[in-house]
Structures are given as C-alpha cells and as structure tokens.
Structure 1
Amino acid sequence: MTIRIKSTSEFKQLSIGETFNKLETSIHGLTEAEAKNRIEKFGYNEIREEKRSPLIDFFKRYWGPMPWLLELAIVLSCVLGHYLEAIIIFTLLTINVIIGFVHSHRSQKVLEFLKKRLAVKARVLREGKWVVKDAKEIVPGDIILVGLGDLVPADAKIVDGEVSVDRSALTGESLPVDLGPSEVLYSSSIVTRGEAKCVVVNTGVNTYFGRTAELVKRAKPKSHQEEVVMSITKYMMYVGIVALILTSTYALLLNTSILSLLTLAVIFLMGAVPVALPAVLTIVQAIGAMELAKEGVLVTRLDSIEDAASIDVVCLDKTGTITQNKLSVVEVTPFLKYTKEDVMLIASLASEEEGGDVVDSAVINYAKSLGVNSDLYRRVSYTPFNPTIKRSEAVIEGEGMRFKAVKGAPQIVLKLCKNIDEIQQEVNKVLEELSHKGYRTLAVAKSEGEDLDRLTFTGLLALADPIRPDSKMMIEEIKKLGIKPVMLTGDNVNIAKEVASQASIGNRIIPIAELKALNEAAKTVEKYDGFAELYPEDKYWIVKLLQLNGHMVGMTGDGVNDAPALKQAEMGIAVSNSTDVAKASASVVLTEQGVKAIVNAIKISRQIYQRMLTWVINKVAKVIEFTTLLTLGFFWLHDIILSLLGMTLLIFANDFSTMSLATDNVKHTSNPNKWNVKNITIASIIVGLLLAAGDAAAMVIGKSYFQLEWEKLRTFIMLTLVFNSQFRVYIVRERRHFWSSKPGKGLIVSITAVIIGFTLLGVCDMIIPSLPLYQVLFALGFSALFTVGMVDPFKYLIFKKFQL
C-alpha cells in the first residue's frame, strides 16, 4: 500500500476520480481486510489523549499539599530523633497513596466506560454492504453516509448528494454552509440538512479538527461544584490561618522554640486544610455515574450529576417520552347490530399486514389482541389507501359469503353508505367527541347482499399514540420530587390536552403561538402545564424563559434542532435513539425510552448529591473541631496536644472510614438540591464547635480526673478525637436524627474496624504510649454518648434551621 498522508486542503484541489486513485479505493468502499491494514498504517480515527504511566501517577501522589505536610512531619520527627514515628508516618502516607491511587484508577475506568458507551457511530460501506461502526474504526478510503443530525466522523470528500453543515465549532461561521459533490466536509461538523455519500480523506490527528486540537488547549469553565469546593476550602484555610496566628503569637510569648513552632504549624495545616475534598467529590461522582449507567442513564460529564439533582422544572417531549411513539387503536364505536369484534374484523380485512403502513399495522394488531380470526376469509382483490380515494377496500370471500370491506376517512366512507340517515346524528356526535380528544378517526363499512357497492356503516375507529403504561405513575413521581413537568409537542392542542390529561400533567395547555403573543411571556410561562403546535427551535426559547424566572430546567430532545435547548438547559436529556449532535449537546443520554429513566436519573443524582454534602459537612465540622481544640489546648497546657504521629493517625482514621461514604445508603430528597455555601458552612461550623466542646471536656477529664502524664494525655486526646470522628460521620450522614436510616455496609465495617483497631492500639504499648483499658473504653463511651446523645439532637435542629 503506497498511500501517503496528504492534508485535507490538498484533497480539496483533487477531483473525485483523482481522490479515489490517491486513496486506492472506489465507490464500492473497502473490504474489512483493507480497513484493518489501514488502521495499522494510519491508526484509529481518534485524537489520543496523553496517558500518564500508572507508575508515574502513583509516585506523583507523594507530591502535593498534604503529602508535603506529612513529609515535613517525617523530617521533623527525624530531627527530633523520633525515628520510629518517622517510619510509621511514612507507612501511613504510603497506605494513603495506595488507597487514593486505587480509587482514582477506578474513577478513570468509569470515565473510559462512559466514553465508550457514548462513542459516535458511522455508516460505512464495507464488503459492499452498509454497516454501522464506531467512528474510531473509520479509515482513509472508506465510503461513508452522513445525514441530518450526524457528526461528520472524519474529513471526507462528497461523492454524491448535498448537505448543509454547521461548522461553527471549527471555523466560527455562524451560518450553515451548503456543500455538494467534490467539496470537503470537516470532521466534527454537524449535518443540519440533506444526505451525502462521501469518501474519507483524513482521520484522527490528520483531520482539520485533529490538527486544531493539537495546537489549541480549550478553556474549560469551572463547574458550580468546583466553585463551591474552592469557596469552602478558602473559608477553612482562613479559619486555620487565624487559629495558627493566634496560637503562634501566644507560643512566641512563651519563648517556644523554632522547631516546636514549625511542628505546631505543620499539625495545624494538616488538620485545617481540606486538600483532598475535590478528589473525594470526583470519586463520589464517578461511583454514582456507574449507578446511573446501570439504570440506563449515561452522563456526558461527571458534574452533570450535580445539575440533575438541582432541576425544578422538566420539559418533556410528548412523542416517545410520554407516549409510545406507535400508532394504536384506542377506541372502537360499533353501530347498529355490529359488535366491536365485527368492526375490527372488517377493518382488518381492509388492511394489508405486509405493506408497512402504520395505520394498517395498528388495526391488525388491535384485532389480534381481541382474538379476531381473519384466517377464515380469502381476499379476492385489494385496493390500498391513497390520498385520492382516501380509503382502502377489499373484496372478501369466506363462510359462504362474498362482500366488500372498506375503511377510510369518515367523510368519504359515510358518503358511500346507504344506511347513514338513521344514524347520522349519532355518528356526528361520536366524531365530534373523538375530534375533541385529538384522535385520528377511521370509518368502517361492509357491503350487504350481492351488490358490493351497497355499503352499510358498521363503526368508527379512533387511533392515537397511546401513553406509556408507566407514564402517569412516573409523572406523579416527578411531582413528588418537587419538580414541575411541562409537556412539549408539535401536535395540535386537542391531542396535547388529551395526553396531558391521561398522564396527569395538567390541563393548562396552550398553542405556542398564544404564549408568543403575550406581552409578558416570561412571567406567564410558569402558569402552563404544556405547549402545543411548537417547532423544535421553540424549545430553546421556553428554556430561556423558565431560566429567567430562576428555574433550573431539564429538557428532553433527540434531533439536531433540539441541540441548542439541550445545551442551554441545566440538564439536557438526549433520549434513546437521539442524533449524534443531540447526544453531544446533552448532559445525560438515556439508553431506555420513557419517563422512568428520567425519574431514576433525578433520584440517583440526588442521592449522590447527599453523599457529597455529607463529605463537605463532615470535613468542615472536623476542621472546626480540630482547630478549636488545638487552640484551646495550647492556651491551657502551653504545648501541642497532638504529636506529629498522633495527627497522622487521626488523618488516616478519618480518611479510612469516610471513604465509604461514596457508597453509603442514603435517601433522595423530596425537593431539588442546591449548594448553599453560606448555610452549609454556618451549620457545619456550629456542629464542629459543639463537638469541640465535648473534646475539651474529655481533655479536662484526662488531665484533671485521670491525672495523666503528658504523653499519655496526648494518647487519650488522640483516641477521643478518633472515636469522635467516627461517631461524627454517623450523625452528619443523616439530616434527621441519626437512627432515621441505616448506614451502608461498607461504612459500618470501616467505622467498626477503626474503633476496634484504635482501641487495641490504645492499650498495646507499641507505637504510642498505652493507657489502661478502662480509660480507652471511657474515651470511646464518652465520645459515643456526647456525639450521639447530645450533639445529634442539636444537629437535627441546626440542619432543619439551615434547610440542609
């Protein structure tokens, strides 16, 4: 194979024939063997992300704010001659590095899984047949087919057909560009109209988009969650720095040595700076993303989970989301002597099962569901429906009879019937009722006697796209979650009202034209339950109006025209079978149809939010508790109440148990979740101060009642803080009283392991000065009683006050 890579610009100058020659291909495409060889030569059609060596990633975890503090603690321990402490701190640091590396690796696997599931597909001509392949398998010389809503998978020259493409993401052009044969489509352009057969000229980094991506690093705006984390981290650093300045100033007045001051600063910073918070929240979201994937919901980015938890309005497409997107018979009204089964038999005989007509299929399927048997009859002749005669008819023989079966537009069939006068008024009444519901109506008739043209009217059929069996229940679920459902449809207002009524959405449905005619549309949009007769581009306008009123909006869509609305909404939901551009614009992609997947996405996202909130509350409360106790202890005892080793053990114990919060058993809230940094911070500070009061009381008991010597007092204080940290997790994980829900198994096991492990550590004279068993058990019992018995009731009132 002598193909050489040329730039896409060079291919633009060549004719279609010259392009085929250069690429050694033809209009018939490539074989699988040829494609495999070209993948080996040119590589996959992807822009490879630079992957860091796992070994480098592992050792980089020894580099960062918290590792620096621990490493400084190791150096200080060595300078002070505490070599065993230095070894233990290094061991704990390494264990933390391993745990962080494993969790990060799992998070990366989740992202790779999501990327694979969301991969763009392409229609390719291989072995002379059109097949669907992952876009990464496209090679130069492939013949591909692109159409409305497709992302162009590679740079390609149009061989046949015409398309309009949106190249704004690549070139900045605001208007679609019309392209025809011999012109070039750039990779990642969006097809907005038409269809074209093309030959691929460049893939991967050799495409126009690929070269640009290598040269330009695109700015990524911070998510709301990142802003929240930064705000909280900043506040905690301020608290730690203020406490450190106060304590250091007092220490200088006491003529404390420089080495002790440095140790004090390291311990303060280790306890006060929540450096692991952003990484932990990412891990929680990654695990949550896998939960969502199991429920048929794929997130396009991890912070989409936060968005899904916050929406208070969701705009739902009627067709395919609320309804089945399948025409069905919903009502049968027989007349005269005929029964429902008689009408369906005649209608099915006037239908063609294999013709692919959706109306005929709906009629035949419903007849079968009633047990109607048409096998006893033979069709002599058949005239299918066409717009001119507006009916279908068949001459039938069977059971010793010969008759004509007719079904079609009521106004046409009624004119052909001889018995219409006696039932005209009743028929008109039924037609009016069905029309008011927005149903499509068919009249059914059959001939009586030998005259095949003498028709008798037998009944009316009503056809519609019925709602899904679970739609009503799921809409009720959405309302229970504090979210207002709004139905959007291009159908007429009568159909919209009927579907909205059946699905319990509401009856305030108006045509979109009426909303547009209002002077204050932004103020009135909230009053309605749905909008009919709209175009896809109207969805973007509705989203903007709702957002102007302060709402967080979810929006469903599937087409290229839905992309702006999906991108604008806080939660853009690309439903199953969406176009590539809809998926690219959405924040979540559904792999299952219906409202149920949306409800699941919201519920699970709220559970994930609650886990993240628990992490934040626990971390802030811990920082306040620790800095307060350390400051009080220094002012009272004129020394640092924790050793470097004790501080390291405390951090390890806290991180070991709280890591299980990522899979904790939590309930979703009945209202949308929104980060309120002020309320979260104030509530957490109050809880932290209450916990510090208990720690201070334990410190006084250890010093004054047990009269412990200095090193043993440090052990007693460290154990109290460790035990307190475990019970703190128990109470802050539940916004109500701690007994309101059962923790996850992982959390129970990890907390139990920490309590048992540190109880043994406290009585065994190994790496820290030991205490008698009764004193260790006192520290455990005091922590449990104070945290669970005294702090939890106050916590419940505090969280209720600050609406957490």
Structure 2
Amino acid sequence: MSQGRHSSARISPLANLFVIGDFILQDPEATPENKGTDATENNGRQPEDLQTAELDSIYSELNTTPEGLTKAEADSRLQKYGANSIQEKEQSALARFFRFFWGPIPWMIEAAALLSALIGHWPDFAIIMALLLYNAIAGFWQEHKAANALAALKASMAPRANILRDGDYQSIDAAQVVPGDIVRIKLGQVVPADVRFIEGKSISIDQAALTGESLPVSKKIGDIGYSSSIAKRGEMTAVVIGTGHNTFFGRTATLVAGAGQSASHSQKAVTHIGDFLIVLCLVLAVILVGTELYRDIVVADKWHWSDIINILRTVLVLLIASIPVAMPSVITVTNALGALALSRKKAIVSRLEAIEELAGVDILCSDKTGTLTKNQLCLEEPTVFSAEDKNQLILAAAIASEQGSTDPIDQAIFAELSSPIKVTDFHLKEFTPFDPVSKRTEAKVMDNKGKTLFFSKGAPQAIADLCQLSGDAADNARSCVQQQASRGLRSLGVARKESNQQWLFLGILSLEDPPRDDSKDTIRRAREHGLQVKMITGDDVAIGKEIATQVGIGTNIYAAANVFEKSQDMDHLPSATIDCVERADGFGRVFPEHKYAIVKALQGRGHQVAMTGDGVNDAPALKQADCGIAVSGATDAARAAAAIILTSPGLSTIVDAIDEARKIFERIINYVLFRVSMTLDIMVVVVAATIIFGFSPLTPVMIVLVALLDDIPIMTIAYDNTLLPKQPVHWQMRDLLLGSSIIGLFSIAQTMGILFLGMAWLDNTSWQSWIALNKEQIQTIVFLQIVAGGHLLLFVVRSRTAFFSKPLPAQPLFVAIVGTQAFTVLMCGLGWLVPAIPWSIIGLVWLYMIIWMFFLDLIKRLLYRRLSDI
C-alpha cells in the first residue's frame, strides 16, 4: 500500500485486534504479521526459526547479547553477510546496447547494409546504417528507463540506524547494519532490517507497503518487524535477525529483479513478422539467384564476374524491399501519441508496449484499499448496550480518543459527533494510548461538575473483560462482533466508569472503509468490456468478501494461505492450484509471493493480466503482469515497476485507459496489415518481374522513396478514427499473416497487371503503339502504382466494413495521404528523382487503381467474414 497515503489516512492499530480473543473468527497465527519470510541463516537453522524462536535462542544463534556488538564483531559480520542493501548484477551498458543489433529485423537491415557496401552503393549503405543505429539507440534508452524499479526499492531503505555498538548507541549508515546488532526504533523512523523486538512497552509499525495490510500493526516484545516499515507510534529496542536480501523487503526486491516477461506481446509479434519476411525473402532470393545463374551458365552458356554484381544488385533490391523499415518507428509513434491521449485520461504510460498489453487484458487484478474503497473509515450503525443512545456512545468513544489525532478511527469518531463541543465539557487529566497488551485506550477526565470519570475504547473482547460481562450480555456482545466481522466490519468496544465503581459496557461501534461511489459502476463497465475483475488484498477474507459483494465482483474470495502452500514453487504451481486461481473472485491475506504467483498462474493459462498496486509488496506482481498499473498515491517502487501510473483514484480511469488502448491497438493492426501486404507485393513483384522480363521493376532508390512516401505520412494513423472493440484484442498472428498474405496476393496481381500493360506498351507494333515508353518509364509506372495503390489499400484495410463507411479517416491521416499522393504525381509527371511519364499515363494508372480499390475492398470483407467464422 502507499506509504504516503497511509501515513496520513491510516486505520488504527486497534482495528486489527478487534476480533481477537474469545470472539475471534480466524487464527491469529495465520495473519500476515506472524507469517514471516526470510531471515539470516545461522548454524544450519532454517530462516523461519529466527522469527519464531524464543529470544534467548535468538541471542544464542546470532551470538549476541542485549548489550549489542563490538565494532570488530560488526566489521567481521559485514564481511560475512554483506552490506544491508540490495545488490544486483548488472550487464554493462555496452553489452546491453549491442544486444539491439541482434534479432530478425536487425539481421535483415545488417545484411542489406553489407550487400550495399559490397557492390558499392554507398548512399544506400549510409541510409541503412542510420536506420539501424536509430533503432538500437531508441531501444537502449527505453530499456535504460525501465531499470529504475530496483533503484526505487533501494531508495526506500532506511539511510541511518541507531545501533548499540561498543556499549553506546550511535547513528550509522543503515547499509552497515549486521545480524545480531541491537537497534533502537522510535516514532517516524524506518526499520533498517528484519528485527525481533526485545525491550520497550509497545510500538506501532506501518508495514502496509510490504504486507498489504490496511492497518498499522502494534508490536510487543518478541514480535517481528520488517525492514523498511515505518514506526508510527511508540519506541522499542530490537535485535537484527536479517539484512539485505535475507529480509522480507530483500526477497521482494529479488522477486522484482526476476519478475517480468522476456518480451512483450508486441515485441514477439514484430519478431514473428520479421521471421516470416526473412523466410519469404530467403526463398525468393534462392529462386532469383538460381534462375539468374541458370540463364547465364546453362542457357546463355556464358559467364562473367560482372554478372555477380548484377545478381547482387537485384538481391539488394529484394532485401531492402523485404525489410519493414519503419514498422518499429510507426508502432512507437502510434503508442507515443496514444500515451499522450491516455495522459489526458489521468493514466501516465511509463512503458509504451504496455498500451498494446492493456488492449488485450482479459483479467484485472485490483487491490482493495483506496482503489475499490475510499481508504477512509466511517462509522456504521452502532450497537447500544448500557449507553442511553448512540450519541452518548459516540461521545464516550471520542473522549477515549486522542484530541487532534490523525488516526483514521479517531477521526471517524470525531466526524460522527452530534455536538463536538460536548467533548470540551470534560477536562482531560490523564490519557493512556493504545496498549497492545491491554488492547485498549483509557482517558481519565473530570466533568464540569467536578466528578472524575474514566472512558475506554478498544478490542471488544478486551472491553468486555474490563466490564466483566457475563451471561446474556456477553453472548450478545460476542454475537454482535461475529455478525459485524462476517460483514467485513471492524468492531470497537466502548466503556465508562465513575471512580471506584464497575465499568459499564456502553456498546459497540462498527467501522468500515466503504467502497468508492464509482466502484460498482466501474466493475459493471469492466465486465461489459470482457474483463474479469479479481480483488487482491492483504486484509482479512471477511472484509474482502463484503467489499467484493458490494461492488459486484463476487463472493468467491479465498485466503491466499489456504490456496498456496508455503513450500510451493510459485513459478511452477500444480494444476489444481491454478484452477482455483482461475475460479476465484479474489484473495485475502496475500503476500508479495502470492500476488506474483496469481499473475504467473493466470498467464500460464493464456490470460493477459493487468495488476494494480501501490506498495513495495505489489512491485513483483506489477512487473510480472502484462500490464502493471500503479494506482494513485503509489510508492516509488510500485511506480517504477508498473507500466502505467494512474494519477486519479479508483478503477474508472483504468476502464477509460482500456478503451483508448484498444483503439490504439486497432490502428497498429491496420498498419501492420497494410505494411506486410505491401512488403509481400514489392518482394514478389521484384522477383517475378526479374525472372519473367529480365529486369527489376524498381531501383534501390525507388525502394527507399517508397518507404519514405508510404511510412512517413502513415505515422498519422495514430490519429485515425476507429471502432472500439467490445472484447480484449490480441496479436492473432495466424489470422494476421493469413489475412495480409491473401490481400498481398491480390495486390501482387494488381501490380503485375500494370507491369504487363507497361511491357505491352514497349511493343510499338501492338494496339497500344500510341503510347511510347521505355523500361525506365515502366519502372516509374510501377513506382507510382505501389505508392498510390498502397495508400488506397490503407483506406481499404483500416475498416472492417466497406472503406467508405464510418468511421471515416481522421483529417490528419486523410490530408497526409492526399498531400503525399499529390507530391508523388508531381514526381512522376515532372521527373523528380524518377524518370518522367506522360500525364495521360498517370491518369490511366489512377483509374486502374481505383477500380482495384473496390475489388480489394470486396476481398477484404469476405476475408473478415471468413476469419470471424473460424
């Protein structure tokens, strides 16, 4: 949970004790406080032993005493156990940079660069190398930014600690703390390591960012304190039992370091497309080289080394044509503009690939406090026993509270007072803060008549024992607490007495962190979007079940400890456990490894998972999730591990972000469909024309111009209008490659058709003899058809229905394409960079493409109809 959020709006430590004792509904040994994780191993003992062993045994195992260590002993242990900090192995920046020159698309670009150098096409070489460096630098920078998750975790470690060394307390760097050290912890300080408390009255620890509990936990002698938790009240002395990676915090950091998928779905998709084009390119290259060698050696019976240069030049054209040069850039720009749109919806994207991941999310794992709930306690209808009415009961609870307290329970009580002025009628003489042993507070006051009164509030069982309840009164109190606990409410007993008289049990207050006003509607909207919502909380199951019922998630809420066995490998869960995770509506009393395991289990079943969180304890799951979402007020570690950061509370922002993400994903799919189809068109036409007509229909310069004229304006597809998919959208590679191949096949037919017409125009004796063209002009015709026809094809594939139906192209896309086409027509008509062709031929080519546009649109609609039936 958010450290900052809970420091000012925290539920009192009383609350986690209200259902303890005879009225308990759960085993206190099963609460997160008593389920420690790693500690330092000593003399072969298991890590858990130091968290449960008697204090005398701990001194023996750690070879220490309540008087602490000497400096020499501490230095020796520092060498043995290492610094009390998170250390991770990092690959050098140079090695990480060179990794971006390895992979399908980099291989294609590098091969094209090498081939252009071999045959002396240095302008092509320069352009290709600039592209390669750009992709590597952009990728390296994105990865470098992602490395801040562990840095944020380290930043939250306590910088200083008060340690007993050589008989005196001294402030040292927390990184120098070692197992066996005696440390003093007081209000506002960060616990520097995992400790066991050995001396002092009591201390209240805010460990929500580690364990997910929504309440500070009151500690007493013998209890454990977790590294990086914060002291909220009191002061105690403790012995250090674990440092660095051997702490609850350290294990969480280790999970973050190991969490995360090897590659995003977007990266896998681009790699898949690259593999497909590489294979096709190699097949076509073999056919082309084989045919040319057969002609030169077998048919013509002549051979010259210059023929190799000609063949390599043709292969270079094929290779350049096969590279989806701008695909990574177009996807990045589209995502970046989408991220800007999401920022206006209060969602900040820290990893661009997360937009596509969010579009495919079908399960949303949400935390409870502050996301589904308001994170502020309020009083429900109280149960009156000896009080005259509920106002007297609330007044008594207010008197037993600390004036000016920021404790949410105290604030909730003061907020419900019918007349706050009445509290000032009682003059405070003595106030005893909450004591985890007695489990109550107590105030000694004098009323305006001079009478001395005592008021107390605390755990219902503690107040019942104080009042010596018995018989029906005790049964009624027990029944009331059980009923409220079953509804997820926290109970608070209130009592009063006059001097030397018996305590009176005034009644029981009920407190609840109510759902946000928009939570129920948001859950409904999420389900309409094809999302299943699971609630993940560190609170008790009863509390989680009540909130889940109120917001419409469901009642199938499990205690995480009952689903995941302690010894289980969270990366390899049994099938029965994964089945339970899929069926569940949520989990209560979760730990970081549970959240991580839930995400891994769902991903293993093919789900795309979004995980919300705000604390250090959420960081491993946030990083592992397909789309980790840090909610409003999250800790630095959670924000660093997350891919999307919300700046406004609640889940409604997430549903809005999913809408935007699905639109962005549709735009990218439309572009990929267009780009792969056009790449197939160019590659096959180059090979087919070379084999059939003996010359390449496009020069290397024309290929580069096609890339520029096609892809630069296509970046405006990020602004395009698109229909909002009602269900999660994914990279369906089989359908995508099949669809693009079929459309590409008809595009090939379109280009080959214009090429056959052009070759007929070369024959001055035919019926087209009124048109006199040469081969260079034929290349210009093919160039015009591929550039203009490609943009017309984009108009076709951007819509699932007829290309002229709504939603129509957005103005930026339409203007960019029209402007590009006008420039292309001028290039071909005036001979800029390409041989000029007659204006009449340009008009005929455009008429030809418009006819084909309607035909391709019909093919597309039949294709989508067929794919939807599969």
Normalised TM-score (structure 1): 0.68
Instruction: Name the counterpart of 1:724.
Output: 789
- Would the aligned equivalents of 1:313 and 1:485 in 2 still touch at CA under 8 Å? yes
Whether 1:357 aligns to 2:387 is no
Give the paired residue count: 689
Whether 1:768 aligns to 2:834 is yes
Amino acid at match of 1:717: V
User: Aligned in 2, Cα 1:462/1:735: closer, same or farther, shift over 3 Å?
Assistant: farther
Instruction: Name the counterpart of 1:479.
Output: 527
**Mind listing any 5+ residue stretches in structure 1 that lack a counterpart?**
1-13, 21-45, 76-85, 131-141, 147-151, 166-176, 195-208, 214-218
User: Aligned in 2, Cα 1:221/1:708: closer, same or farther, shift over 3 Å?
Assistant: farther
Shift, 1:505, TM fit = 0.8
- Would the aligned equivalents of 1:107 and 1:286 in 2 still touch at CA under 8 Å? no
What is the alpha-carbon distance in structure 2 between the residues aligned to residue 103 and residue 439 of structure 1?
A: 55
What is the alpha-carbon distance in structure 2 between the residues aligned to residue 552 and residue 249 of structure 1?
A: 46
Shift, 1:758, TM fit = 0.6
| Larger displacement relative to structure 2 (669-678 or 657-666) | 657-666
- Would the aligned equivalents of 1:110 and 1:290 in 2 still touch at CA under 8 Å? no
- Would the aligned equivalents of 1:247 and 1:631 in 2 still touch at CA under 8 Å? yes
SS in 2 for 1:319: coil
Amino acid at match of 1:243: L
Shift, 1:557, TM fit = 4.8
Instruction: Name the counterpart of 2:248.
Output: 192
SS in 1 for 2:684: helix
What is the alpha-carbon distance in structure 2 between the residues aligned to residue 466 and residue 459 of structure 1?
A: 22
What is the alpha-carbon distance in structure 1 between the residues aligned to residue 240 and residue 476 of structure 2?
A: 62
User: Aligned in 2, Cα 1:452/1:603: closer, same or farther, shift over 3 Å?
Assistant: farther
**Aligned counterpart in structure 2 of residue 641 of structure 1, from 697, 704, 711:** 697
Amino acid at match of 1:163: A
Instruction: Name the counterpart of 1:274.
Output: 324
**Aligned counterpart in structure 2 of residue 616 of structure 1, from 672, 676, 679:** 672
- Would the aligned equivalents of 2:377 and 2:408 in 1 still touch at CA under 8 Å? yes
Whether 1:323 aligns to 2:373 is yes
Amino acid at match of 2:280: V
What is the alpha-carbon distance in structure 1 between the residues aligned to residue 487 and residue 443 of structure 2?
A: 27
Q: Following superposition of structure 1 onto structure 2, how do residues 776-791 of structure 1 map, counting pairs within 5 Å?
A: 776-787=842-853, 789-791=854-856
What is the alpha-carbon distance in structure 1 between the residues aligned to residue 172 and residue 325 of structure 2?
A: 49
- Would the aligned equivalents of 2:395 and 2:423 in 1 still touch at CA under 8 Å? no
Q: Deviations over 1:686-743 (max 9, x none)?
A: 1111222333344455546674513333322211111011122333344555444455
Instruction: Name the counterpart of 1:795.
Output: 860
Q: Deviations over 1:410-462 (max 9, x none)?
A: 67878999xx9999999998766534312123466889xx9998999987642
Q: Deviations over 1:533-566 (max 9, x none)?
A: 4444433444454345443434445566656655
- Would the aligned equivalents of 1:407 and 1:413 in 2 still touch at CA under 8 Å? yes
**Aligned counterpart in structure 2 of residue 242 of structure 1, from 283, 286, 292:** 283
**Aligned counterpart in structure 2 of residue 497 of structure 1, from 536, 545, 553:** 545
Instruction: Name the counterpart of 1:11.
Output: none
Instruction: Name the counterpart of 2:110.
Output: 64
SS in 2 for 1:315: strand
What is the alpha-carbon distance in structure 1 between the residues aligned to residue 525 and residue 383 of structure 2?
A: 34
Shift, 1:358, TM fit = 3.1
What is the alpha-carbon distance in structure 1 between the residues aligned to residue 278 and residue 140 of structure 2?
A: 29
Shift, 1:618, TM fit = 2.5
- Would the aligned equivalents of 2:108 and 2:319 in 1 still touch at CA under 8 Å? no
Amino acid at match of 1:374: I
Q: Deviations over 1:556-586 (max 9, x none)?
A: 4556665665565444555566677766766
Q: Deviations over 1:637-682 (max 9, x none)?
A: 4433233443332222123223444565556644334333322211
Shift, 1:625, TM fit = 1.6
SS in 2 for 1:747: helix
Q: Deviations over 1:72-99 (max 9, x none)?
A: 7874xxxxxxxxxx9xxx4x98788778
Amino acid at match of 1:474: T
Instruction: Name the counterpart of 2:47.
Output: none
User: Aligned in 2, Cα 1:729/1:576: closer, same or farther, shift over 3 Å?
Assistant: same
Whether 1:526 aligns to 2:582 is yes
| Larger displacement relative to structure 2 (613-622 or 662-671) | 662-671
- Would the aligned equivalents of 2:333 and 2:715 in 1 still touch at CA under 8 Å? no
Instruction: Name the counterpart of 1:169.
Output: none
- Would the aligned equivalents of 1:157 and 1:182 in 2 still touch at CA under 8 Å? no
Amino acid at match of 1:643: T
**Mind listing any 5+ residue stretches in structure 2 that lack a counterpart?**
1-68, 76-89, 163-169, 184-191, 196-225, 228-236, 566-573, 762-767
Shift, 1:385, TM fit = 6.3
- Would the aligned equivalents of 1:379 and 1:394 in 2 still touch at CA under 8 Å? no
User: Aligned in 2, Cα 1:540/1:764: closer, same or farther, shift over 3 Å?
Assistant: closer
Shift, 1:404, TM fit = 8.4
User: Aligned in 2, Cα 1:785/1:184: closer, same or farther, shift over 3 Å?
Assistant: farther
Whether 1:546 aligns to 2:602 is yes
Shift, 1:497, TM fit = 1.6
Q: Deviations over 1:191-231 (max 9, x none)?
A: 4369xxxxxxxxxxxxxx9xxx9xxxxx9956554444333
User: Aligned in 2, Cα 1:52/1:547: closer, same or farther, shift over 3 Å?
Assistant: closer
- Would the aligned equivalents of 1:628 and 1:689 in 2 still touch at CA under 8 Å? no
Instruction: Name the counterpart of 2:155.
Output: 122
Instruction: Name the counterpart of 2:35.
Output: none
Whether 1:232 aligns to 2:279 is no
**Identity across the alignment (%):** 28
| Larger displacement relative to structure 2 (707-716 or 576-585) | 576-585
**Aligned counterpart in structure 2 of residue 754 of structure 1, from 820, 835, 848:** 820
- Would the aligned equivalents of 2:686 and 2:697 in 1 still touch at CA under 8 Å? yes
| Larger displacement relative to structure 2 (106-115 or 358-367) | 106-115
What is the alpha-carbon distance in structure 2 between the residues aligned to residue 117 and residue 513 of structure 1?
A: 27
Instruction: Name the counterpart of 1:506.
Output: 554
SS in 2 for 1:381: strand
Instruction: Name the counterpart of 2:773.
Output: 709
Instruction: Name the counterpart of 2:426.
Output: 379
Shift, 1:262, TM fit = 4.0
SS in 1 for 2:587: strand
User: Aligned in 2, Cα 1:389/1:661: closer, same or farther, shift over 3 Å?
Assistant: closer
Shift, 1:469, TM fit = 3.3
Amino acid at match of 1:358: P
Instruction: Name the counterpart of 2:569.
Output: none
**Aligned counterpart in structure 2 of residue 466 of structure 1, from 493, 509, 514:** 514
- Would the aligned equivalents of 1:66 and 1:275 in 2 still touch at CA under 8 Å? no
Instruction: Name the counterpart of 1:163.
Output: 193
User: Which of the pair has the greater relative contact order for Cα pairs under 8 Å at 6+ separation?
Assistant: 2
- Would the aligned equivalents of 1:330 and 1:462 in 2 still touch at CA under 8 Å? yes
Q: Deviations over 1:336-386 (max 9, x none)?
A: 99887776556545533323433112212344xxx8553784322365564
Amino acid at match of 2:846: L
What is the alpha-carbon distance in structure 2 between the residues aligned to residue 492 and residue 117 of structure 1?
A: 29
Q: Following superposition of structure 1 onto structure 2, how do residues 588-603 of structure 1 map, counting pairs within 5 Å?
A: 594-596=650-652, 598-599=654-655, 602-603=658-659
SS in 1 for 2:834: coil
SS in 2 for 1:551: coil
User: Aligned in 2, Cα 1:728/1:143: closer, same or farther, shift over 3 Å?
Assistant: farther
What is the alpha-carbon distance in structure 2 between the residues aligned to residue 184 and residue 515 of structure 1?
A: 29
SS in 2 for 1:326: coil
Instruction: Name the counterpart of 2:707.
Output: 651
What is the alpha-carbon distance in structure 1 between the residues aligned to residue 151 and residue 515 of structure 2?
A: 31
Normalised TM-score (structure 2): 0.63
| Larger displacement relative to structure 2 (507-516 or 262-271) | 507-516
Shift, 1:494, TM fit = 2.5
User: Aligned in 2, Cα 1:349/1:516: closer, same or farther, shift over 3 Å?
Assistant: same
Instruction: Name the counterpart of 2:733.
Output: 677
Q: Deviations over 1:7-50 (max 9, x none)?
A: xxxxxxx9859999xxxxxxxxxxxxxxxxxxxxxxxxx99845
What is the alpha-carbon distance in structure 1 between the residues aligned to residue 578 and residue 343 of structure 2?
A: 36
User: Aligned in 2, Cα 1:783/1:603: closer, same or farther, shift over 3 Å?
Assistant: same
